[in-house]
A = this chain, B = another copy of it.
């Protein structure tokens, strides 16, 4: 389905980095849900370049909801949000048009679409397209909140600097959702920002790990095959440019545990069944078990760096070097955080819609 994702609640993306505007269509939302535009704006602000550790491209992300509303409420029709592109400097790209940036989508896009697929700023592959995802995710997050489901993501690590673990999920999620640079430990947060600034000063880039928690999701959501909760989330989350891995619960570390310590034993207290540990990350056999959903995303260092690198001139078909000079992010981990929240919300909303129907989202 390419640019349309979801079964019952679907999002359709369109737009290119340096085109007229970018946007998305969200379908499957029932009528009568109040939309909080300020919240959408707030979510978009979390994705925007931050302080002096991001690109200097100014993205105001002035969005317009051009369909789907009846006053402040949804009317049941698809919601289309448009964000106009501003502050475009295509010239930054002109000179390097035929020189694919190493580890960027430039060359693979050329393989797929040929010369007509190559557009300044990465075109449709640009990270900028995550802005409409965030706008739509904000709507999903609002609906989930009404159902008592909350999502929060922290920067688990930048390079080798690690944040503390989640302790009180509810409070931690609140803290993260209020923060611009989402780290649980404030001292660590400064260290991470310093690291990014240093890497930037070296014309280099750096990555890290994001960790997301979803609380309030009942057991019984997901399928045993194919549309497992892990499968659906990962399908969506690998759309975040630079994500190269995802793991749930203990993830890769669980491969060095024995079953007797890896297993989450069950208990019942006050009629509520829970587990004594959560190594499974809230999902067993593809289906939620009522514990917090926990997963981590590996985010690679931004491929565009201001250093000289070997590449190929696609037009002349010869070896070449590239040294980009435009505005670029030395790190996108902190900006990707809200995209992770958004896609997570969209996936869970879709799965709830399959279980409870469009009517069940009201």
Contact = CB atoms under 8 A, between A and B. Distances in A.
Contact of A67 (B21, B218, B221, B309): B21
A208 interface: yes
A94 interface: no
Tallying the copies of this chain within the complex gives 4
Interface in A294-324: 296, 298-305, 307, 309-312, 317-319
Nearest to A68: B14
A108 B287 contact: yes
A58 interface: no
Contact of A266 (B115, B227, B260, B311): B311
Interface in A335-360: 353-360
B303 A112 contact: no
Interface stretch (A116-124, A137-145, A180-188): A116-124
A296 B225 CA distance: 20
If over half of A's interface residues share one DSSP class (helix, strand or loop), that class is named, otherwise mixed; here it is mixed
A38 interface: no
A266 B100 contact: yes
Given A12-B25, A14-B77, A207 B159 contact: no
A266 B232 contact: no
A7 interface: yes
Interface stretch (A40-48, A171-179, A237-245): A237-245
- Which of A237, A238, A239 has the largest count of B CB atoms less than 10 A from its CB? A238
A61 interface: no
Interface stretch (A49-57, A146-154, A248-256): A248-256
Nearest 5 A-B pairs (CB), nearest first?
A: A105-B285, A111-B219, A245-B247, A205-B259, A77-B124
